[in-house]
Amino acid sequence: MLLEIRDLHVEFETDGVVTRAVEGVSLSLDRGQVLGLVGESGCGKSATAMSVPRLLPMPPARITRGRILFDGKELSRMPVGELRRLRGARIGVIFQDPMTSLSPLHRIGRQLAEVIHLHKEVSRSAARQLAIEWLDRVGIPEPASRIDAYPHELSGGMQQRVMIAMALILEPDLIIADEPTTALDVTIQAQILSVMRKLLHARAGLLLITHDMGVVSQMATHVAVMYAGQIVEQAEAGAFFRRPLHPYSVALMDAMPSSATRGQRLKAIPGQVPAAGAFPTGCRFHDRCPVARAECSRQPPELAASGEMLVRCPYV
C-alpha cells in the first residue's frame, strides 16, 4: 500500500483552547488510485491531508494519535531531514493557496530549478528546459519567457499553475492536492486534471481534496466523505456515485450541479458545519439531517460496513 493513515487524531491549540479537527480518520491509497476526500469547509480535509507530509503549522497543530505509513515507512516519527527528502521527490503537495509554496522574491524559473537540483543531478540548462516543459504542461502560455517572471507578475490562476508544476515536476509517487483547481477556469482545470491522470498511469497515487463533487466523479477511484472531523462514508467511487448512503453524502450530491441545473444557483445544504470543539452530542450531523430520529441526538454512530461501503449511520 502506498499510503495508509490509521486512526489519525489532529488538534489545534490556540490561546489554551483546543479544537479537535480530525478524530479517528483511517484511509488508504494505492498506486494508480485517486482518493477523493470531500466535505464542506472546516470538516478537517486539509488537516488530515497535510498531516501526511507533516506540513501543518505545529504549533498550533499537533497529531495526538495515529499512524501514517508511506510505502510501509512511518512518517509521523520520521526525522525531519529524511521527510524533507521525500517531499518534492516522492510526495508532491499542491496547496489551497499557491503562495504557500512560491516565494515572492525569486523568479519562478529559479524556484522550479531549485526543486529539481535539490533532488536530481542535472545541468542548469537541463533543469531550465524541464521547467519550461512543465510550465507548458500546466497551461502557462509562452513558458520560455514567463519562466523569468516573478510570482507577482502572474495572475492568481497562473501562480496556481506554477505551484502545480512545482509539485509535479519530479513525478512523485504520491500527490496530495488540496483544492488544486478551484481557482482555475474550466479549460485549464481540465488540462491540469489530465496532466495528473498521466502521472497516475505512471503509477502514482493521488489524494484529491475538493468541495467539487463533479471533479471527484471525473477523477476518483475511491471516495471518502468527511463531516465534522470524521469520515462518514468511504467507498469505491462507482458504488458511491451509483448510490451514496450517508444522508450527508446524499445532500452533497444533491448540491452538485447537473447538466439540467447548470446555470442555476447551487442548492445549499441547510444549516452549517458545527465548529470543531462544539460538536453536537450523538450524531454530529443530526441537526441538519433530513431523516434524523430522536435517538440520533443521543448515540454517536460508528463507522460500520454496509455491503462494500463504510457508513457512519445505522439507519441506511
Ligand X SMILES: Nc1ncnc2c1ncn2[C@@H]1O[C@H](COP(=O)(O)OP(=O)(O)OP(=O)(O)O)[C@@H](O)[C@H]1O
Contacts with ligand X by CB under 6 A lie at 12, 14, 19, 21, 39, 41-47, 57, 60, 96, 275-276
Residue 12 binding result from Mg ion, ligand SF4, ligand X, none, given CB thresholds of 5 to 8 Å by partner type: ligand X
Among 137, 285, 309, 310, the residue binding ligand SF4 under the rule CB under 6 A is 285
For residues 151 and 259, what is the distance between their CA atoms, to the nearest angstrom?
36
Establish if 304 lies at the interface with ligand SF4 (CB under 6 A): no
| Residue 274: C-alpha distances to residues 19, 70, 281, 286 (Å) | 12, 32, 11, 11
Contact 208, 220 (CB under 8 A): yes
**Placement of cell 453536537 in the chain:** 280
For residues 268 and 158, what is the distance between their CA atoms, to the nearest angstrom?
30
Establish if 253 lies at the interface with ligand SF4 (CB under 6 A): no
Q: Give the DSSP H/E element, type plus range, for residue 281.
A: none
Establish if 289 lies at the interface with ligand SF4 (CB under 6 A): yes
Residue 24 binding result from Mg ion, ligand X, ligand SF4, none, given CB thresholds of 5 to 8 Å by partner type: none
Establish if 269 lies at the interface with ligand SF4 (CB under 6 A): no
CB-based closest residue to Mg ion: 46
DSSP state of 257: -
From the CB of residue 7, how many other CB atoms can be counted at a distance below 10 Å? 11
**Minimum distance, C-beta of residue 160 to ligand X, in the bound complex (Å):** 15
DSSP state of 271: S
Cell of 266: 447551487
Establish if 48 lies at the interface with Mg ion (CB under 5 A): no
Residue 42 binding result from Mg ion, ligand SF4, ligand X, none, given CB thresholds of 5 to 8 Å by partner type: ligand X
Chain positions contacting ligand SF4, by CB under 6 A: 247, 283, 285-286, 289, 291-293, 296, 301, 313, 315
